[in-house]
């Protein structure tokens, strides 16, 4: 996973760590088992790589990874 994430430097990703833990940001650095992410406000966050379950590359600015629930009018 560390090698894979290292190839994503400069790209925006969504990551899922289980439960309600999901994050979005630009990959800044991957070092020592830690992913360094910059969020939309410019703040840095640090994630233990061994806790990451799923990674999505962000294609659209507004889309968030996960499920979308349908309303009765959508059927």
pLDDT value at residue 49: 96
Residue range 2-60, CATH number: 2.30.30.520
E strands within 1-75?
12-18, 21-31, 34-38, 44-48, 54-57
pLDDT value at residue 37: 96
Tell me the per-residue pLDDT of 18-42, one tens digit each, with 9 for 90 and over. 888 889 999 999 999 999 999 999 9
Which residues fall within 8 angstroms of residue 19, CB to CB, at 6 or more apart? none
Give, as one character, the DSSP assignment of residue 3. Answer: H
pLDDT at residue 44 is higher than 60: yes
pLDDT value at residue 32: 95
Mean pLDDT along residues 7-11: 95
pLDDT at residue 6 is higher than 80: yes
Tell me the per-residue pLDDT of 49-72, one tens digit each, with 9 for 90 and over. 999 999 999 986 555 556 555 555
Domain parsing of the chain, residue ranges: 2-60
């Amino acid at each position: 996973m560390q090698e894979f994430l290292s190839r994503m430097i400069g790209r925006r990703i969504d990551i899922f760590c289980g439960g309600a833990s999901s994050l979005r940001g630009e990959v800044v650095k991957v070092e020592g088992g830690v992913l360094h992410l910059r969020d939309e406000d410019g703040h840095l966050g640090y994630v233990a790589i061994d806790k990451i379950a799923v990674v999505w590359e962000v294609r659209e600015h507004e889309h968030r990874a996960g499920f979308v629930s349908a309303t009765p009018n959508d059927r």
